[in-house]
Amino acid sequence: MPAGKHVRRTVSWLAATAAALLVGATTAGCGADATAAENSTVTVMTWAPLGSEAGSEPAVPVTAQAIAQWINDTGGIGGRTLRVITCDERDTAEGAQACATQAVQQNVAAVVGSYSQFGDSFMPVLSEAGIPYLGGAGLSDTEFSAPYSYPVNGGYQSLLAGNGAQLIASGCRRVAIVRPDSIVGDAMVGYLNAGLASSRLAAVDIRVTPGRTDYSEQAAAAIAGDQGRNCITLALDAASTSTFLDSYRRLPHRHTQLASVVGSIQQTVVDATGGSSGPLADALVTSWYPPDDSSVWNDLHSVLRKYAFSHTEISAADPFVETTWVAYQVLRSALQGVQGPVTASLLQARLETTAGITVKGITPALNWQTQFMLPNVSVPRTVNTEVAFQHVVGGELTWERTGLVDMRPALSATGGAGS
């Protein structure tokens, strides 16, 4: 399969496989010589919601298992076997806390590349045990402020600031943001406005309640008079985005430009809404990373083809699959040359002191030392402030402007409140 094409597998298989991996992984590595096994094994956890109707991300733990097999087949981590325990986060605060408690009980060195929006629930458990949270999905502010969190993407904050800059560059003169009516949604407006600030624009704020079956009223308010250079940016979950698009496509919108951030719109959403003939044709999208057709993802594609099995559905273009990939590359780099058993405290020290861990072509140098912290009191641990400007061409997300764009100045200028 050529690089850049999506590797697809069935979601139901993913959920079943991830559950089976959880059972198998929690018992792996036991032997007569427990000390020898501990010294020769790096144990981590990856969690995500596996079977919830909304917000399910079973591809994340399955990807983690595939990466672990690849790492172990290519020398391990300094000769050590990488053992990945998975956990069903269930898309609930209680589930996230339960997974964190299991991580403590299993004495993992880190939680790596996971997906959860409940940072306020799981981070205190991990922090008390001194367990690093490396490269989570970036769905909560806690991931960008807690001292034991090591984010590898820039969260929704960098995406929205970047989206504002992308819209200004495309010539927008009116920008409406369609976002959830929530505390996080309130912060989204401020970060988008930070990206719009160079043109002294302020976004028209359109709030929606996630989970509704119709957003015609909100779509009409966003389109307004459908005047030239009118732009709409979507900052909703994928399901609500699809519902909004159903309402949007039924209204006149000839002169209105659609835009969004990755997560709200990704390749699977473009496909599901009609591809090149759907409402997302020519949409502008701000992403954390280069598009899926970039050569920087060749290894990820190869790993998924070889280790995630050909009869399943998993998209290498999923931003949370990509983040999991990046997180495991950072883990491997941080432990390069380390002697003796790998513990949470050792890994935490390595992450705090190793200068400039880079995943070539995907991230800038990642530094979690104090002097590199973002001057934003809400999200100071946002060390990757770069974004990619993409657009939909022929039904595929690809570069709109080649190269990553650093949004650090705009994120710093928000002052920390996101408003």
Q: Is the pLDDT of residue 20 over 50?
A: no
CATH superfamily of 156-287+386-413: Response regulator (3.40.50.2300)
**For residues 406-419, average pLDDT:** 76
Neighbours of 52 (CB within 10 A): 17
**For residues 351-360, average pLDDT:** 93
C-alpha to C-alpha distance for 20 and 62, rounded to whole angstroms: 10
Residue 54: predicted pLDDT: 61
Count Cβ atoms within 10 A of the Cβ of residue 327 and give its class: 0-12 exposed, 13-18 middle, 19 or more buried: buried
Dihedral Cα 210, 135, 102, 107, nearest 10 deg = -170
Query: Sorting pLDDT into bands at 50, 70 and 90, what band is 23?
Result: very low
C-alpha to C-alpha distance for 197 and 179, rounded to whole angstroms: 19
Q: Is the pLDDT of residue 43 over 50?
A: yes
Contact assessment for residue 99 and residue 77, using Cβ atoms and an 8 Å cutoff? no
Neighbours of 400 (CB within 10 A): 18
Contact assessment for residue 285 and residue 159, using Cβ atoms and an 8 Å cutoff? no
DSSP state, 143? G
At 268-297, the pLDDT tens digits run 889 988 998 999 999 999 999 999 999 999
Tell me the two tokens of residue 387.
Answer: 């974004």
**For residues 72-80, average pLDDT:** 94
Q: Is the pLDDT of residue 10 over 60?
A: no
- For 274: left if phi > 0, alpha if psi spans -120 to 50, otherwise beta; the answer is left
Q: Is the pLDDT of residue 363 over 70?
A: yes
Query: Sorting pLDDT into bands at 50, 70 and 90, what band is 30?
Result: very low
Residue 175: predicted pLDDT: 98
Q: Is the pLDDT of residue 232 over 90?
A: yes
Q: Is the pLDDT of residue 72 over 90?
A: yes
Q: Do domains 11-154+295-372 and 156-287+386-413 have the same CATH topology?
A: yes
Q: Which residue has the tokens 């200068």?
A: 355
At 367-404, the pLDDT tens digits run 999 999 999 999 999 999 999 999 999 999 999 999 99
Q: Specify the 3-state DSSP secondary structure of 144.
A: helix
Q: Specify the 3-state DSSP secondary structure of 239.
A: helix
Residue 314: predicted pLDDT: 83
Mean pLDDT score across all residues of the chain: 89
Q: CATH fold of 11-154+295-372, please?
A: Rossmann fold (3.40.50)
Query: Sorting pLDDT into bands at 50, 70 and 90, what band is 224?
Result: very high
Q: End-to-end alpha-carbon separation of the chain, Å? A: 45
Q: Residue 321: name the closest of 294, 335, 306, 301 by CA.
A: 301
At 149-164, the pLDDT tens digits run 999 999 999 999 999 9
Quick check: pTM over 0.75?
A: yes
Q: Is the pLDDT of residue 136 over 80?
A: yes
Query: Sorting pLDDT into bands at 50, 70 and 90, what band is 239?
Result: confident
| Phi, psi dihedral angles at 342 (to 5 degrees) | -95, 115
Contact assessment for residue 75 and residue 115, using Cβ atoms and an 8 Å cutoff? no
Q: Is the pLDDT of residue 4 over 80?
A: no
C-alpha to C-alpha distance for 47 and 16, rounded to whole angstroms: 14
Residue 414: predicted pLDDT: 78
Query: Sorting pLDDT into bands at 50, 70 and 90, what band is 249?
Result: very high
Q: Which residue has the tokens 């929690």?
A: 26
Q: Is the pLDDT of residue 8 over 60?
A: no
Dihedral Cα 107, 111, 114, 118, nearest 10 deg = 80
Q: Is the pLDDT of residue 1 over 80?
A: no
Chain centroid to CA 82: how far? 22
Could you state, in order of their start, the residue ranges of all structural domains in the chain? 11-154+295-372, 156-287+386-413
Residue 39: predicted pLDDT: 74
Contact assessment for residue 176 and residue 261, using Cβ atoms and an 8 Å cutoff? no
Residue 292 Cα distances to 16, 318, 414, angstroms: 26, 9, 30
Question: Of the ranges 78-82, 133-137, 262-266, which one carries the lowest mean pLDDT score?
Answer: 262-266
Residue 105: predicted pLDDT: 98
Query: Sorting pLDDT into bands at 50, 70 and 90, what band is 184?
Result: confident
Residue 245 Cα distances to 82, 235, 252, angstroms: 42, 12, 12
Residue 52: predicted pLDDT: 63
Query: Sorting pLDDT into bands at 50, 70 and 90, what band is 53?
Result: low
